[in-house]
């Protein structure tokens, strides 16, 4: 029983870390996309907000995965 729970916890940790890294990478892509389009100033504001949201989601998922790993 304990071994099954540990393997399930480990897979949840890996999924959370993967999601966190994925969202951080997505936010970097969004930031580069936003700042690559200087002539379209209307696109920069909402795209930057999306990038910040993705970055915060990535940090949150990574933190959750790391805190699960410590227990």
Question: Vertex 63, ends 60 and 67: CA angle to 5°?
Answer: 140
Concatenating the DSSP letter of every residue in 35-67 gives: HT-TT-HHHHHHHHHHHHHHHHHHHHHHHHHHH
| pLDDT attached to residue 69 | 73
Separation between Cα atoms, residue 10 and residue 5, nearest integer Å: 9
pLDDT digits (tens, 9 = 90+) for 20-70: 888 888 877 777 766 665 555 556 677 777 778 888 888 888 888 788 777
The C-alpha angle with vertex 64 and arms to 3 and 59, in degrees rounded to 5, equals 145
Number of residues that this document lists for the chain: 71
């Amino acid at each position: 029983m304990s071994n099954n729970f540990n393997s399930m916890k480990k897979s949840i940790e890996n999924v959370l870390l993967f999601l966190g890294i994925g969202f951080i990478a997505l936010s970097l892509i969004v930031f580069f996309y936003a700042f690559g389009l200087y002539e379209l100033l209307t696109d920069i504001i909402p795209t930057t907000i999306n990038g910040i949201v993705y970055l915060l989601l990535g940090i949150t998922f990574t933190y959750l995965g790391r805190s699960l790993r410590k227990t």
